[in-house]
Amino acid sequence: MDAKTAESLTYPFPTPPAPGEVIEVAPGVLWVRMPLPFRLNHVNIYLIDDGDGWAVLDAGIGNDATRAIWETLVTGPLAGRRLTRAIISHYHPDHIGLAGWLAQRFELPLLMSQTSYLGCLNISLSPGALDARPYRDFYSRNGLDAKTTDIVATQGHGYLKMVTALPPTFNRVVAGDTLRIGGRAFAVLSGDGHAPEQIMLYSGAEKLFLAADQVIAKISPNVSVWAVDPSGDPLGLYLRSLKVLRRDLPADALVLSGHQLP
């Protein structure tokens, strides 16, 4: 999205919530913002009224600061109502990082795509596998020097530092499913390019689109060719996904993204 298009959008909530606070962005939908130790310094998390509690969409990164904010939330703005389940959009550590901890701490079922679950599990169980010879050859062919290749090839160990261990079971969600959360029926959508089989939710009755990282107002998500799939076309997959979303969703939908403002 170019700057002119981004500025033509309406941003109904111009000020994000402070850490440990919530903003209601739709009836029964709360916006939480968690800090990240990166240049992109935050991730958005959403809580959806689930009858007797709150369903969580994404968990935040797996560090002590994010754990502390969750504890502040459940004893503060969310006090008196339990967390019911955690829905994870994709396996990047800013979204799935604390999923295992949330599941254990609050006895929550985890819902996500099979690709996200197995992708996280694969890196977590075999972080050194990212240093395989074919991967190093891929980086060299594409212009990375030896020092940069060493950094990229060992980043699986960095992933471990940002992700808590997943439980041995999960609940799979698939594009085309209908996910009922409280009184709402969400269509499950998925998109590729940024992360394979990234899960998004859409309520047609309210024109409410929980977009994860597939649609962000003023930046594009990271779309990269990875060594594990050296002939892949993630940009083509990403653009194809955007065309489908543009075709199927109304222009006046409220877009709740994983980063930046709604």
In contact, 35 and 21? CB cutoff 8 Å: no
C-alpha–C-alpha distance, residues 128 and 76, integer Å = 41
Q: Count Cα atoms within 13 angstroms, Cβ side, for 169.
A: 4
Q: Per-residue pLDDT tens for 19-66?
A: 999 999 999 999 999 999 999 999 999 999 999 999 999 999 999 999
Q: Are strands 184-191 and 178-181 parallel, antiparallel or unpaired?
A: antiparallel
Q: Which of 133-142, 160-169, 215-224, 252-261 has the lowest mean pLDDT?
A: 133-142
Q: Which residues contact 85 (CB under 8 A, 6 or more apart)?
A: 50, 55, 56, 108, 109, 110, 111, 171
* Between 249 and 131, residue with greater pLDDT: 249
pLDDT for residue 51: 95
Predicted pLDDT at 67 = 98
pLDDT for res 132: 82
**Which CATH class name applies to 3-257?**
alpha beta
Instruction: Provide the pLDDT confidence category of residue 253 given band limits of 50, 70 and 90.
Output: very high
pLDDT in tens, 171-190: 999 999 999 999 999 999 99
Asked if 179 contacts 201 with a C-beta cutoff of 8 angstroms, the reply is: yes
Position 136 confidence tier, pLDDT thresholds 50, 70, 90: confident
Residue with tokens 């877009």: 255
Tell me what pLDDT residue 4 has: 60
What confidence score (pLDDT) does residue 2 get?
54
Query: What pLDDT is recorded for position 1?
Result: 53
Domain-by-domain residue ranges, the chain?
3-257
Is 19:35 a contact under the CB 8 Å cutoff?
A: yes
Task: Give me 18's structure tokens.
Answer: 């402070």
Q: What count of Cα atoms within 13 Å lies in the side-chain half-sphere of residue 225?
A: 12
Q: How does the average pLDDT of the chain come out, rounded?
A: 93
Instruction: Name the residue among 105, 106, 81, 77 with its Cα closest to residue 18.
Output: 77
Give me the amino acid identity at 30: L
Q: By C-alpha distance, which of 186, 193, 239 is closest to 213?
A: 193
Q: Which residue has the higher pLDDT, 5 or 129?
A: 129
pLDDT at 12 over 80: yes
Query: What pLDDT, on the 0 to 100 scale, is given for residue 156?
Result: 65
Ranking 97-106, 156-165, 210-219 by mean pLDDT, the lowest is 156-165
Whether pTM exceeds 0.85:
yes
